[in-house]
Amino acid sequence: MPSKVSYLVVSLLAGFAGLATAQSVPRSSHVWMITEENHSYEDVIGNTQMPYYNQLAQKYGLATQFYANQHSSLPALMWLVAGAPIEPNNDTISCHHTQDNIVRELLNAGYTWRSYQQNLPYAGFQGLYGPGLLYYRRHNPLIDFSDVCPGTGQAINSVPYAQMAADWADNTAVNYAYITPDSDEDAHNGTLAGADQWLQANVPAILARPEFQAGGDGILFIVWDEGTLYTDNRCSATDANGCGGRTATLVIGPRVKQGYQSATLYHNESVLKTVCVAMGLSTCPGAAQNAAPMADFFTTTSTDATPSDSVLISTPGSGATITGAVHLIANADESQPVSQVQVWDNGSKLGVYGAQVDTIYNLAPGKHTTVVADFDASYQPLHQSTVTYTVEALADGVQIISPTANQNLGMTTVNVVAHASESVPISQVQVWDNGEKLGWYPGADVNQYYSLTPGAHVVTVLDLDNQFNLLHLSTVFYIVQ
């Protein structure tokens, strides 16, 4: 191998930072979200004025590298429900935004929802503020979309917070609940101590519900719209400017790893993506469509989880545009034995698998409709799921499909999958990790397993022409645990 290739591989090891993502998100039909306001991670974690919040962080899951996309309340919150800063004006009273949003996808899937707003004057209230400036419309982003305008029948799902207890008493708890304390108790105008006291007074009742007991499927997110105004503009641990700052996001539930601290880089749309995957929504709004879910927070097995009797395609997302190879992840979750899962694309069978599918396809550029179907022990069809997306040709270069950037692997066996595409013949591809050559393989593809030591890793895959000259290389940073 030419020495210039070795030099390039070794030199790429400097300057990589960051951690973690994904294994699998458990299915849930009970998702809750509580939003807080305008305080950075360092203001919250370890603060003696917030003992309850820190207790939750120690017991459940804490995202230590979570960064808001931007400042300004309404657009920052829009990222959590629409995957984009749809409305920049904090003083809007419009509900006519037609962009995709979580309410639309929930309704498409047959789920129920409500936005519980403390000190909202009455259900369906459209005003900018409530009495005493305790309710802020800009902290209630769900009502700014055409799906929730008056006349749709959905406006009355924006209700005063007190309605939640009545819903529980009537046994009409919704599938998706978005909760906002008032402006004094979400830390916008009040103190962090006051926000902590509100959480301590209200969160235990949520966690006492059946979905948060052993075997339940409840997921609760406690999120902050943005970090401290004017002083925290961080986008990541290494990028200090241009975003909304570092925030202390909590993930809570019976399937969340106890005491887990994630070092994966996440943003507001990551919460939305996690909601979509958990609830089996094939389309996820805005940037969440192609975001990574916060799957590292969850346990991957459960003996008492209730089967969903369905086929779930986790990736690709419906409507996505994929350059190069397609990574298909799907799972059949049935209350009866599954004999096989079949994958079809544009009418042609691609393969037969067990109950879980995690594979790579090199598909022709253009529109694709992929169907994943499962079958019972008599080979009779049970359920199927469909996803549509567009494949674009990979430009000359090397595409690393696995591991993914910043992935946190809970095992020392690493599957490296890569594909090279060039306008000239390719003699071989090589795999390097932390400056050491793991192997070379003839042709343009590699799909190999390696046993590696725990710690930070940079994998480099490069391709060579027929004269063994370097054509292109790609690198991915990841973690082995």
Q: Is 94 helix (H, G, I), strand (E, B) or coil?
A: coil
pLDDT, residue 407, reads 79
Using pLDDT thresholds of 50, 70 and 90, give the confidence band for residue 214: confident
- In a domain, residue 284? The reply is yes
pLDDT for res 17: 32
DSSP 86: -
Q: Which amino acid is at 212?
A: F
Amino acid present at 273: K
Average pLDDT score over residue span 64-68: 96
Mean pLDDT score, 423-428: 91
Q: Are both 202 and 322 inside the same structural domain?
A: no
Last residue of a domain, one of 273, 297, 321: 297
Longest dimension (CA), the chain: 76
Is residue 435 over pLDDT 60? yes
- Do 179 and 285 fall into the same domain? yes
DSSP E strands, 304-380 = 310-315, 321-323, 326-333, 340-345, 348-353, 356-361, 366-375
CATH number for the domain spanning 97: value is: 3.40.720.10
Same domain (yes/no): 238, 319: no
Is the pLDDT reported for residue 282 higher than 80? no
Are 169 and 237 within one domain? yes
From 326, 212, 217, select the one nearest 277 (Cα to Cα).
217
Classify residue 398: in a domain, yes or no. Answer: no
- Provide the pLDDT for residue 359: 80
Establish whether the linkage from the previous residue to 403 is cis, with ω within 30° of 0. Answer: yes
Q: Is 60 exceeded by the pLDDT of residue 7?
A: no
- Among 5-9, 23-27, 178-182, 260-264, the range scoring the smallest mean pLDDT is 5-9
My answer on whether 232 and 344 are in the same domain is no
Q: Are residues 53 and 98 in the same domain?
A: yes
For residue 297, pLDDT beyond 70? yes
**Structural domain includes residue 457:** yes
Is there a domain that residue 217 lies in? yes
pLDDT at 410: 66
**Domain coverage including residue 476:** 3-17+404-480
Q: CB neighbours (10 Å) of residue 426? A: 19
Tens digit of pLDDT for each residue in 387-421? 888 988 877 889 898 888 887 776 778 889 888 88
Token reading at 360:
């790579």
Listed ranges 98-112, 191-205, 389-403, 413-427; the one with the highest mean pLDDT: 191-205
What pTM, to 2 d.p., does this model score? 0.64
Whether 225 is covered by a domain: the verdict is yes
pLDDT (0 to 100) of residue 23: 52
Statement to judge: residues 291 and 329 lie in one domain: no
pLDDT surpasses 60 at 320: yes
Which residue, chain included where needed, has tokens 């241009």? 242
**How far apart are alpha carbons 299 and 142 in whole angstroms?**
30
With CA atoms as reference, report the closest residue to 178 among 212, 223, 217. Answer: 223
100 with 7, same domain?
Answer: no
Residue ranges with strand state E in 156-228: 158-160, 176-180, 219-224
Residues 6+ apart with CB under 8 A from 469: 2
What are the C-alpha distances in Å from 298 to residues 25, 306, 369, 452, 478?
6, 16, 30, 24, 19
Q: Are residues 330 and 455 in the same domain?
A: no
C-alpha torsion angle, residues 248, 19, 360, 26 (rounded to 10): -40
Name the residue among 171, 144, 10 with its Cα closest to residue 82: 144
Please return the burial class of 176, using the count of CB atoms within 10 Å of its CB with bins 0-12, 13-18 and 19+.
buried
445 in the same domain as 322: no
Residue 324 confidence class, pLDDT cut points 50, 70, 90: confident
**Is position 252 within any domain?**
yes
Name every residue whose Cβ is closer than 8 Å to that of residue 286 and which is 6 or more positions away in sequence. Answer: 79, 82, 83, 84, 99, 100, 269, 272
The answer to whether the beta carbons of residues 34 and 219 sit under 8 Å apart is no
User: What percent of the chain clears pLDDT 90, i.e. is strictly above it?
Assistant: 66
397 inside domain = no
Number of domains in the chain: 3
What integer is the mean pLDDT of 224-249?
95
- pLDDT value, residue 307: 64
Arithmetic mean of pLDDT, 9-36? 63
Instruction: Give residue 462's identity as a one-letter amino acid code.
Output: L
Residues 61, 206, single domain; the answer is yes
Rounded mean pLDDT of the chain?
89
**11 or 150, which is more confident?**
150
Q: What is the mean pLDDT of residues 454-477?
A: 93
* pLDDT score recorded for residue 362: 83
For residue 463, the domain's CATH number is: 2.60.40.10
Residue that finishes a domain, picked among 346, 371, 392: 392
Task: Report how far residue 452's alpha carbon sits from residue 462's, in angstroms, rounded to the nearest whole number.
Answer: 19
Of the candidates 237, 266, 297, which is a domain's last residue? 297
Residues 137 and 203 in one domain: yes
- What confidence tier does 77 reach under pLDDT thresholds 50, 70, 90? very high
Residues 6+ apart with CB under 8 A from 439: 430, 431, 448
Phi, psi (5° rounding) for residue 13? -75, -20
Going by pLDDT thresholds of 50, 70 and 90, the confidence category of residue 161 is: very high
